[in-house]
Amino acid sequence: MAEEEEKTNIFDVESAASLVKDLRKSFGSGKTKSYEWRVQQLKSIIKMIDENEEDIVEALRLDLSKPQLESFVSEISMTKSACGVALKELKHWMKPEKAKTSITTFPSSAEIVSEPLGVVLIISAWNYPFLLSLDPVIGAIAAGNAVVLKPSEISPATSSLLAKFVEKYLDSSAIRVVEGAVPETSALLEQKWDKILYTGNGRVGRIVMAAAAKHLTPVILELGGKSPVVVDSNINLKVATRRIVAGKWGCNNGQACIAPDYIITTESNAPKLIDAFKCTLEEFFGKDPLESKDLSRVVNSNHFARLEKLLDEDKVSGKIVLGGQRDKTHLKIAPTILLDVPEDSLIMNEEIFGPLLPIVTVDKVEDSFDIIRSRSKPLAAYLFTNDKKLEKEFVSSISAGGMLINDTVLHLAVNTLPFGGVGESGTGSYHGKFSFDAFSHKKGVLYRSFLGDASARYPPYTPRKQSLLRALLNGDIFGVIRALIGWSKGPTRIENKNN
């Protein structure tokens, strides 16, 4: 009996196909396109958060040992903010945009209509399991789509919480959560979707893109990479290190796609920078950071082993200048700074995604640009400087998903900026209006009446019609007038002999 029940609960390709069929039927009814439905769902998300904040914080603690304040600031508050922006701006976003027309279609008017894509799939990440699940869902709902959310199985408490509360608070005929691991994700990827958004690593990103290609499904890939921090000399090192520490260890203990991955500074500035880090880290996390309640743990034993491998490589283990303590039982690694690790080391060739931070030194700060450009384009790039010329050169010569000058990670919270990668750090973007656009098709519509039907566009194509059409298409107003009054410029052309 138990075996039969287990079989019925298996989510396979057939189950996924049935789910998509049901959602397409719901979308086809037109319910998700209405302004009222979208608003109701967005308000329900806010209600869900308000009524269950303690449960959300507890799920994040179970999954990642996230400090309560960090859970509120970076997951709960940002999710509610995304909902608030969508509710405030939705009418404006849905309104057709007027577009200019040309003389060739005169008289006419035109507009760009935003229409929902249909049924979309969102595969979220484990490091910010609440925010990165619901933030894109908010955009998909605002755009009027039916949605399937696949939370990460690596954060099981939050995944279970989302499955429970989404079903309770939102319209389950159009918004569903599918829990599970690789088999369930694979079953979902076998289906035809109207768009897929995946947040995670490049390896899985390639699998998602390959699956989407079978159905010509467009994708948004929010990946990661090695986000650099260039630190100039003659800056306020106390403020700079506080902001770097907040963006590295204060954001899920380095387990964030936009966390600083490595620092580049001059050889002469490195000792002063390391001293500033020592003071800041002790101020924030105490003399024994493994005992700090303000640091998240490493998500699981596999990731802990991966980070140990980076630290224990022969050419790296002797480069630790600060930290390095570990507690395997509680999956804790102290904030760790390394100086001048070799370029060919694992830690300099893999996204770290943890509490380790290498410092690379150069002769002059401008040399840092060549190091960054020699690597894959990062999701984020940071610069600390008072030099406006250096700042301008950094913005113009470094390609990255996003940038921030004199701080880290805060650009994520600005809803008027697109958030997304470039090259191997991802494709496509979302946040704010960009989320609405990401899940919408921009449909161009031209309106004409039965008036102004010019015979020049129809056969037979006489020389006079040809002159008129040429002038129209070239935007030559005087040529149009000449063609209309029958006056030809210059010597008579050969074709006029047959006129």
The DSSP secondary-structure symbol of 251 reads: T
The per-residue pLDDT for 478 is 80
Question: Pseudo-torsion of CA 308, 309, 314, 317, nearest 10°?
Answer: -20
Domain 228-420 CATH assignment equals 2.60.40.10: no
Pairing of strands 119-123, 195-199: parallel
The per-residue pLDDT for 479 is 80
The per-residue pLDDT for 489 is 52
User: What three-state secondary structure class fits 272?
Assistant: helix
Q: What is the pLDDT of residues 286-325, one digit of tens each?
A: 999 999 999 999 999 999 999 999 999 999 999 999 999 9
Contact 478, 468 (CB under 8 A): no
Give alpha helix (H) positions in 143-264: 156-169, 182-189, 202-213, 237-248
- Contacts of 392-399 with C-beta under 8 Å, sequence gap 24+, read 393/366, 393/369, 394/230, 394/369, 397/369, 397/373, 398/369, 398/372, 398/373, 399/373, 399/423
Q: What is the pTM of this model?
A: 0.92
Catalytic residue numbers?
222, 257
List average pLDDT for each run of 10 residues in the chain, which is 499 residues long: 55 96 98 98 98 98 96 97 98 97 89 98 97 98 98 98 98 98 97 98 96 98 96 96 97 95 97 97 96 95 97 95 96 97 96 97 96 96 97 97 97 95 97 98 96 85 84 80 67 41
User: What three-state secondary structure class fits 350?
Assistant: coil
192 is written with which tokens?
Answer: 């035809």
The per-residue pLDDT for 473 is 80
The per-residue pLDDT for 11 is 94
The per-residue pLDDT for 396 is 97
- Give domain limits for the chain: 13-223+433-443, 228-420, 454-485
259: left (phi over 0), alpha (psi -120 to 50) or beta: beta
Pairwise CA distance, residues 296 & 437, whole Å:
34
CATH topology for 13-223+433-443 is: Aldehyde Dehydrogenase; Chain A, domain 1 (3.40.605)
Domain 13-223+433-443 identical in fold to domain 228-420: no
Contact 311, 320 (CB under 8 A): yes
The per-residue pLDDT for 8 is 56
